Amino acid sequence: MICGMKTESLKDITRFGIGGKSEIVYAKNEKDLVGCAKKMSTEGRQFFVLGGGTNVIAHDGGYAGTVIAVRTNSIAQKRNRVRVDAGVLLEALINKANKEGLSGLEALAGIPGTVGGALYGNAGAYGHEIQEVVERVRVFDGVRIRALSRKECGFGYRESIFKKKKWIILSATLIFKKDSADDLKKISRRIRTIRNKKYPQQLRCAGSIFKNIIAKSKNGRIASRQIPKEKIAHGKIPAGVLLEAVGAKGMKRGKIQVADYHANLIINTGGGSANDVRYIINTLKKRVYRVYGVMLEEEIRYLGF
């Protein structure tokens, strides 16, 4: 088998618990990750690089190519700098930083998934984003390994150059500020408590489905005229505000349901299908557009569609 491929169900490696079968490769180190990607590219094989699978909706029919599941797991600290592999869980990195009194990521506590996935989508919470601590990111561009500065990563709200390029994130060097370890741990504990109420760890979901709307953007200016100003937070209009107004809460199709307490959260109650998820997503996008004149954009990724 090429690169030690296995045929497995995507529902078993994605948090949503949805998806058919695919060939899967588990890359446990950088050499295997780059080598496998090179081999598949040379042979003209289609592949999809997957981190923790926490914000992915996989097709019911599976994926025709090969999924490379990144399981690299090295963390190395030198004073206030940390070099971390893409496959390291974000929570593990935050716990390490808090323990060492390194400030910068404590507000992201409780966000599931890997560091690579967080960099790909510039993960953030409570007014902070992972880009704030990025010094450089190492990637494989299909030909060679290269290092990108934070500026070259093109970070924006839930955006990065990695969404536009077929590059594989290998690792990152992050730079932190020194602070009290006890204080950082307290902040993260408080934030995890809040997050776990919205997204219990056992919940089959992909987190927030839609991006919030930047208030100063064209869509933001349109929406701002139609909602109370106090709903705008950290310069963004929560997608959940618009979704709630169009009746999203509690909406169901098959085994898929919008949470009755959070309009931007879609849950697989057990045995749900990607087809039903897509139906709800598309229906809600149309409803919001009809009422507010803005088209919501998904925060999640699609695999196999």
- Catalytic residue list: 158, 208, 299
Which of these, 151, 144, 149, 150, lies nearest to 167 by C-alpha position?
A: 144
8-state DSSP, 162: G
